[in-house]
Structure 1
Amino acid sequence: MVFALCNEIKLRRSEIDDYQVIETIYFGGGTPSILTVPALKFIIDTIYENYLVSDNVEITVEANPDDLTESYVKAIASTEVNRLSIGIQSFFDEDLKLMNRAHNANEASKSISLVKEYFDNFSIDLIYGIPGMSTDRWKENLKMALDTKAPHISSYALTVEPKTALASFVEKGIIAPVEDELAQEHFGILVDTMEQAGFEYYEFSNFGKQGYFSKNNTAYWQGKHYLGIGPSAHSYNGNERSWNINNNTKYIKALQENELPKEVEKLTTTDKYNEYVMTGLRTIWGVSLKKVENTFGITYKEYLLKQAKKHIEEHLLFLDDDTLSVTKKGKFLSDGIASDLFLLNLG
């Protein structure tokens, strides 16, 4: 798999212009912390050998707490990796057991203490809306997260994926289903707590101290181009979106034959408008009316304002000069609001 990844990195060099600089490298989308450090280093070296990489590049590795032994953290800190994203999810064992996580609460706390010895820049993930999690326990989770002094925290609502142990438990009535009302209550507590603690709420699921916004997250939500390497990975170049095959064996076989196992979708002007609206509304930067008009045309701007009118009246959106943004009241509903602003019948 590592050799296949590196071969894809080489084969896709032509997709990046010579003058384009790589600003962020992100190892995610699974459990990259199971990679040995030499394997990780081999992939990073392949990127440096084939692309122009910024001196201030952010290189993040997602990691599970149970993988973060002292020897592993020390070894990974000796590479170019300068940021870790730790999948804590909760500081309570009952939540972790319900989500079928491999680590326990003690390992969660220990992993953060260990990471802090070697990394200044790190993030922790938390899950809210967990069945049976009271608001008091959620507040305690947030307090424990803030006590770690993590400069960045990402938090997501629990979703039950099909064909998982959690889905089976819900179907059998062993675990209560996820409740939207509970998730929304937890979300409100999350936003208030993080803002009071001095975090900038720069994207729907992400909170960062100044200077610690994730470059990877920021680039994605600002519509910058990205190259996705590996099975199921998606890429975007402004005009096309592509995605790799989601079968590991077929992926490796294709790369062994120097073939790129991907499909490509050409984006229409309407596709690009819809994506800009969706990503813009999730961030502190909002949607620029001037950009909509200049990039997509006056028809799109007029349609956007027409569709936004009722949401502005309901105080879910607000218009500040040139920028359309989601209000605090509308943040939890931002994806639904965005879909109401989508345009479906233009080319």
Structure 2
Amino acid sequence: MAGIYIHIPFCKSRCVYCDFYSTTSLTLGQRYVDVVCKEMEKRAKTYDGKVVETVYLGGGTPSQLSETLLRQLFECLYQAYDISTEAEVTMECNPDDVTEAFARMISLLPVNRVSMGAQTFSQERLLFMRRRHTAEQVKEAVERLRKAGIQNISIDLMYGFPNETMAEWECDIQEAVSLDVEHLSAYALQYEVGTPLYKMLKRGEVTEIDEELERQMYFQLIDTLSEAGFEHYEISNWGKPGYHSRHNSNYWNQTPYIGLGAAAHSFDGKNRQWNVADIHQYMEGMEKGEPCVEYEELTPDNHYNEIVMTALRTSKGLSLDNLSPVYADYCLRQAKRFIDDGLLAMDNKNLRLTREGLFVSDMIMAELMKV
């Protein structure tokens, strides 16, 4: 069993770029946690009983929950499932939530890994994104977590902001490296439909960054983090040796997992299911004993496409031995032109993205899939 994901949808405020399901209705916290605990108990009855190796509290902003609610959540979780004593237990936190008291509090919970959205160390860009923390608060949060005994910290960065220069991006990378964290994730700014940022783009208030500059920023990130001792194990993720995200790695390895909470997805190895992305419908359905859930039975083509999409994201790449002869043959035929162009490499029946292929990975994956 890969693990359990728990979606905590509460945010104090919304960032302009975010399209994850969230709500600012913080007063619903107690009722929501009660319902998530009910879902845990219900789904544990049909669970196969394998030991859970990873737990991930994502959001939203899990650090918006009170100590009482966090304790309730973990108590229910550990009663319902067999959680390994060596489990990786990650909690996403906003930097400005990490006071000294908060850091001490989560250190007394099963949490042993914290993921924080730093995004940038430019106050101007933080304000533009409507982030509620400052650059200084990221540094303070890391120090407080260390003092409290949290020895596995990950931070997120973003690049490709309107008018951002290479020099500014290099400063952000260096600031992140100087924090001496164990893990780093970095993503190019996306203009997702329906977000305030997308509307700003359509109104002509912002302009997307030049693609070639974005490409150079990505490669600069790869080189700088490599020099700093990070291993580039997935397209957007870097970890120091021994600190790759075990939970997220299992997603990319097609290992089963349970998703709890509004909008959370689950995968049993053959089928997917997901809860409704509406906190009120989710809670009402669970309370009535009529969960608002959708299911998808993966066809052989769907399953092949998912393997391509997940495995190629990793530095290990896609082993053709994991495909049936028919799909392996199709994959190789589709991949040939990318191998010839130096965007894919084949080593001992293992297909992986090259350095140049990483930046155009979405296009390559799309061409390898069955439609």
2:352 matched residue in structure 1: 325
2:35 counterpart residue number: 4
Is the 1:280–1:287 Cα contact (8 Å) retained in structure 2? Answer: yes
RMSD value, Cα: 1.2
For 1:99 and 1:259, the matched residues in 2 are separated by 38
Q: 2:77 aligns with which of 35, 47, 54?
A: 47
Report SS of the residue matched to 2:258: coil
Aligned equivalents of 1:270 and 1:313: distance in 2? 25
Q: CA deviation at 1:178?
A: 4.1
- Residue equivalent to 2:62: 32
5+ residue gaps, structure 2: 1-31
- Shift of the alpha carbon at 1:73? 1.1
Question: Are 2:169 and 1:142 equivalent residues in the alignment?
Answer: no
Q: Which moved more, 1:241-250 or 1:167-176?
A: 167-176
2:271 equivalent to 1:230: no
1:234-269, Cα deviation, whole Å (9 max, x unpaired): 111111111111111111111111222210000011
d(CA) in 2 for partners of 1:320, 1:108: 41
Q: Does 1:196 align with 2:223?
A: no
2:115 alignment partner, one of 59, 79, 85 = 85
Letter paired with 1:82: N
- How many Å separate the matches in 2 of 1:140 and 1:222? 34
Please state whether the residue corresponding to 1:213 is helix, strand or coil: coil
Matched, 1:342 2:360: no
Partner of 1:281: 312
Structure 1 stretch displaced more, 175-184 or 207-216: 175-184
2:135 to 81, 84, 105: 105
Q: Equivalent residue of 1:73, what SS?
A: helix
Opposite residue 106 of structure 1, the aligned amino acid is: E
Q: Which residue of 1 aligns with 2:144?
A: 114
What is the aligned partner in structure 2 of residue 72 from structure 1?
102
Aligned-pair CA distance for 1:42: 1.1
Amino acid at match of 2:353: V
Structure 1 counterpart SS, 2:185: strand
- Aligned-partner residue type, residue 312 of structure 1: I
- The corresponding residue for 1:133 is 164
Counterpart contact for 2:343–2:355, Cα < 8 Å: yes
Of 185, 201, 222, 1:154 maps to 185
SS of the residue 1:139 aligns to: helix
Higher relative contact order, structure no. (Cα contacts within 8 Å, ≥ 6 residues apart): 2
Where do 5+ consecutive residues of structure 1 fail to align?
none
Tell me which amino acid in the other structure corresponds to 1:322: K
- For 1:199 and 1:331, the matched residues in 2 are separated by 17
Contact 2:163–2:209 (Cα < 8 Å) also in 1: no
1:213 aligns with 2:230: no
Given candidates 331, 336, 339, the residue that maps to 1:312 is: 339
Q: Secondary structure at the match of 2:355?
A: coil
Q: Which has the larger displacement, 107-116 or 139-148?
A: 107-116
After TM superposition, list the pairs within 5 Å mapping 1:229-308 onto structure 2. Answer: 229-292=260-323, 297-308=324-335
Shift of residue 78, structure 1, vs aligned partner: 0.9
Deviation at 1:285, TM superposition (A): 1.5
Question: Tell me, what secondary structure is at the counterpart of 1:227?
Answer: strand
Q: String of CA shifts for 1:125-171, please: whole Å, max 9, x gaps.
A: 00011112111111111111111100100111111233333233333
> Which moves more between the two structures, 91-100 or 307-316?
91-100
Task: Render the CA deviation track for 1:181-200: whole Å, top value 9, x for unaligned.
Answer: 33222111111111111111
CA distance in 1, matches of 2:216, 2:125: 17
Q: Distance in 2 between matches of 1:201 and 1:148?
A: 18
Q: Distance in 1 between matches of 2:315 and 2:201?
A: 35
Residue in 1 that maps onto 2:126: 96
TM, length-normalised to structure 2: 0.89
Within 2, Cα distance between the matches of 1:29 and 1:178?
27
Counterparts of 1:162 and 1:303 in 2: how far apart (Å)?
33
- Alpha-carbon distance in 1 for matches of 2:53, 2:211: 37
In 2, Cα distance between equivalents of 1:168 and 1:322: 45
Figure out how many residues of one structure are paired with residues of the other and give that number: 339
Separation (CA, whole Å) in 2 of partners of 1:168 and 1:112: 34
Letter in 2 for 1:57: A
Q: Please, which moves more after superposition, 154-163 or 125-134?
A: 154-163
**2: distance between equivalents of 1:158 and 1:257?**
40
Q: Is the 8 A contact 1:33 1:62 kept in 2?
A: yes
CA shift for structure 1 position 310: 0.3
Distance between the aligned counterparts of 2:298 and 2:195, measured in 1?
A: 33
With the length of structure 1 as denominator, give the TM-score of the two structures: 0.95
